Amino acid sequence: MKQADAHISVLGAGCAGLSLACYAAQADSNLDISVFGKVSQAATQAHIWGFWKTGWLDMPASLARKSWKHWQIITEEGAICQTSHSYPYHALESTKWLSHCLNQLRGRAEFSELMPDEPDIDYPCFDSRTPKLPAHPMLQHFLGLEIYSERPVFTPDTLILMDFRCDQSHGIHFIYLLPFSEHEAMIESTLFSPDPLPEETYLASINDYLARHYQLDGYTELRRERGIIPMCETMATGQNSLPIGANGGCIRPSSGYGFSFIIKQVKGLVTDMGTGRLASSRENMRAPHRWLDRQLDKVFLRVLRRHPHLAPAIFLSMARALDGDEMAMFMSGFARPATYAKLIWAMPKLVFIKAAIGCYLMPAR
Ligand SMILES: Cc1cc2nc3c(=O)[nH]c(=O)nc-3n(C[C@H](O)[C@H](O)[C@H](O)COP(=O)(O)OP(=O)(O)OC[C@H]3O[C@@H](n4cnc5c(N)ncnc54)[C@H](O)[C@@H]3O)c2cc1C
């Protein structure tokens, strides 16, 4: 692939593809941009992208629906509230972000629903099509409802990142609750397990949770979102192209968070194009996650798969060991060395040592 900056192609018109095209158009007004593929449904049917605001997320953060400086992690054994003034948590509607990207691209990019047979190897081609997954991967699967309650029941300044006080019989299960006001919230039943569940199971958990913790029997459903996110290493689709987004390994295997890593990756690639340092092939692209994070994620996932019942205690210990800034930095991929030390110290040692040895001796199992 040549380091030409006259033209770029983008395969797949979702979060990564449209964000890359948008930042590239802003950076170079002479660049020709071709975007291939149907625009993602997320541009017209909103779901939320949650992220901690970091230095590279100014634009998405400015368009967010709400942000919070406080968040909680709750189990049957206790609750920890973390606070970060430097890296508040933001909720951005997919429709808002993707329309912003599409507006920036109006008159600047050519859109075609059909994929090219072969990317033009004379120009950089960024590929955000769905990656290949290993057999029987761990998944994050969820169903969320945005609801309105007549009674003011929610605490709008504190979101619930994980509340494990729900049925653990189908896998690692927690409730994620974004309170937009005292009356409105997004509440999600989220599981980490290899098998997605029928809708009724998530709904029953949400209703049970609202009844038990908010004494709420009735509400108006405003919107519903459903998703499945792979929690594993993926294999990039395509050839002669630079994989980006989920296809470029941006989804963090241990958490399913991807948005922040996608924006960081695409902004980095746009900078590289401007400075003539764009990777010439996928093999020499920068990895979206640090080496140490990738190793820790592998061990962490192995522990979760083998000992799902330990998950609530592990997440609570993690929240107890770190302050809000440290947690936000770790989840966003730029933790300090001391944070890793605190985290490792907080984990159940024997289980993690066994998992680390297992990852080394039997990586595929
Ligand atoms: C419902 C949901 C909620 C999420 N919430 C969060 C969150 O809160 N925080 C967070 O950090 N991450 C979240 N994620 C994870 C991640 O940020 C998203 O999955 C993100 O959209 C990934 O961006 P992407 O561009 O790689 O993939 P996509 O946004 O899925 O875009 C890929 C595009 O390529 C198209 N495509 C794929 N294959 C082909 C093909 N063969 N031919 C043509 N077109 C193709 C698709 O139709 C799509 O339009 C969420 C994911 C989902 C699904």
Residues 125 and 19 in one domain: yes
pLDDT of residue 358 exceeding 80: yes
Residues 143 and 185 in one domain: yes
**Cα–Cα distance, 217 to 233 (Å, whole number):** 41
pLDDT of residue 264 exceeding 70: yes
The residue nearest atom 41 of ligand 1, judged by CA position, is 129
Residues 121 and 266 in one domain: yes
CATH classification at residue 195? 3.30.70
Residues 33 and 57 in one domain: yes
pLDDT band at 361 (very low <50, low <70, confident <90, very high): confident
E strand intervals along 124-255: 125-127, 139-148, 158-163, 172-179, 184-193, 220-230, 242-243
pLDDT at 364: 64
The residue nearest atom 38 of ligand 1, judged by CA position, is 129
CA of 243 to the centre of ligand 1 (A): 13
The residue nearest atom 20 of ligand 1, judged by CA position, is 15
Query: Which pLDDT tens digit goes with each residue over 150-202?
Result: 999 999 999 999 999 999 999 999 999 999 999 999 999 999 999 999 999 99
CA of 218 to the centre of ligand 1 (A): 32
Ligand 1 pocket (Cβ < 6 Å) reads 12-17, 37, 40, 47-51, 115, 128-130, 225, 227, 229, 245-247, 251, 257-260, 262
In a domain, 263, yes or no: yes
Atom of ligand 1 nearest to the CA of 247: 26
pLDDT at 4: 45
**Cα–Cα distance, 74 to 81 (Å, whole number):** 9
Query: Order of strands across the sheet with 158-163?
Result: 78-83, 70-75, 158-163, 172-179, 184-193, 139-148, 220-230
pLDDT at 2: 45
Number of structural domains found in the chain:
3
Query: Which pLDDT tens digit goes with each residue over 44-67?
Result: 999 999 999 999 999 999 999 999
CA of 14 to the centre of ligand 1 (A): 6
pLDDT of residue 351 exceeding 80: yes
**Cα–Cα distance, 303 to 266 (Å, whole number):** 32
Residues 274 and 330 in one domain: no
The residue nearest atom 2 of ligand 1, judged by CA position, is 227
In a domain, 77, yes or no: no
pLDDT of residue 87 exceeding 60: yes
Atom of ligand 1 nearest to the CA of 245: 26
Pairing relationship of beta strands 172-179 and 89-93 according to DSSP bridges: unpaired
Identify the burial level of 292 via C-beta atoms within 10 angstroms of its C-beta, where 0-12 means exposed, 13-18 middle and 19 or more buried: exposed
The residue nearest atom 43 of ligand 1, judged by CA position, is 37
The residue nearest atom 37 of ligand 1, judged by CA position, is 129
Atom of ligand 1 nearest to the CA of 18: 25
Residues 216 and 194 in one domain: yes
Query: What is the average pLDDT value for the chain, to the nearest integer?
Result: 95
In a domain, 42, yes or no: yes
**Cα–Cα distance, 14 to 129 (Å, whole number):** 9
Query: Which pLDDT tens digit goes with each residue over 205-245?
Result: 999 999 999 999 899 999 999 999 999 999 999 888 999 99
In a domain, 85, yes or no: no
Q: Which helix (H) or strand (E) holds 37?
A: strand 32-39
* Domain end among 187, 202, 230: 230
Higher pLDDT, 245 or 122: 245
The residue nearest atom 21 of ligand 1, judged by CA position, is 15
Nearest to 14 by CA among 34, 33, 42: 42
Residues 238 and 269 in one domain: yes
